[in-house]
């Protein structure tokens, strides 16, 4: 386990110590910000419902369920169960986004981003690359800004895909 944590710290330092220019800091702060609370994903769901005229309104219900499940799983259960401190408390870091009010593992932003990318991709395959690019940028921003270790984000990725898959499967029974 110590070996995995040392690799996680090394990867964090490598990413977090990438050049920090006003442009890059603003760029990644933007993506981190739009990833908060799932607002970008809700807006995309509504936009697609109007623009693409979603025939199956259960997609929006699946998106809502996925968002709710990810918040409960990550923010209420896992973070409080695991209690991993954020990087700013453990390693030297450039921290541009202070989130010390909660624990680090897994990343809520990454989980939510990949839940929503999965669900929206299931109904809109032509936009799949854009959904996953958005999810990646939101997730990567969390490491760049000093809020999460890479392992937090990777765990959020896998958990997000799992919750997204579950939500899409559940949609069949709604």
Environment class of 37 (CB within 10 Å of its CB; exposed 0-12, middle 13-18, buried 19+) = middle
Residue 63 has pLDDT above 80, yes or no: yes
Residue predicted with more confidence, 58 or 30: 30
Catalytic annotation present for 101 = no
Q: Are 131 and 121 in contact (CB under 8 A)?
A: yes
Higher pLDDT: 94 or 50? It is 50
pLDDT over 70 at 53, yes or no: no
The closest of 84, 92, 94, 96 to 152, measured between CA atoms, is 84
Is the pLDDT at 55 greater than 70? The verdict is no
Q: What is the mean pLDDT of residues 15-44?
A: 91
Per the model's pLDDT, the better-predicted residue between 166 and 124 turns out to be 166
pLDDT at 78 over 80: yes
**94-148 pLDDT, tens per residue?**
776 665 678 999 999 999 999 999 999 998 899 999 999 999 999 999 999 999 9
Q: What is the mean pLDDT of the chain?
A: 89
**Is 109 assigned a catalytic role?**
yes
pTM of the model: 0.91
- H or E, element range at 72: none
pLDDT for res 54: 63
| Candidate list 20, 101, 124, 148, residue with the active-site label | 148
Supply angle C-alpha 78, 84, 88, rounded to 5: 135
Determine the pLDDT at residue 100: 64
Residue with token string 């695991």: 82
Residues 6+ apart with CB under 8 A from 28: 96, 137, 140, 141, 144, 145
Q: Which of 9, 20, 101, 109 is flagged as catalytic?
A: 109
């Amino acid at each position: 386990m110590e070996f995995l944590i040392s690799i996680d710290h090394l990867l964090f330092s490598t990413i977090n110590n990438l050049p920090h220019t006003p442009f890059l800091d603003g760029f990644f702060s933007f993506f981190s910000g739009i990833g908060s609370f799932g607002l970008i994903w809700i807006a995309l769901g509504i936009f697609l419902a109007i623009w693409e005229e979603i025939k199956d309104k259960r997609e929006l219900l699946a998106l809502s369920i996925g968002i709710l499940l990810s918040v409960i799983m990550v923010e209420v259960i896992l973070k409080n169960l695991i209690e991993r401190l954020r990087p700013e408390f453990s390693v030297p870091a450039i921290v541009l986004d202070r989130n010390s009010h909660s624990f680090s593992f897994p990343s809520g932003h990454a989980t939510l981003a990949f839940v929503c990318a999965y669900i929206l991709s299931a109904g809109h395959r032509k936009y799949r690359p854009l959904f996953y690019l958005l999810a990646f940028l939101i997730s990567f921003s969390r490491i760049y800004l000093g809020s999460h270790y890479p392992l937090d984000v990777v765990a959020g990725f896998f958990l997000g895909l799992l919750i997204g898959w579950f939500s899409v499967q559940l949609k069949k029974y709604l």
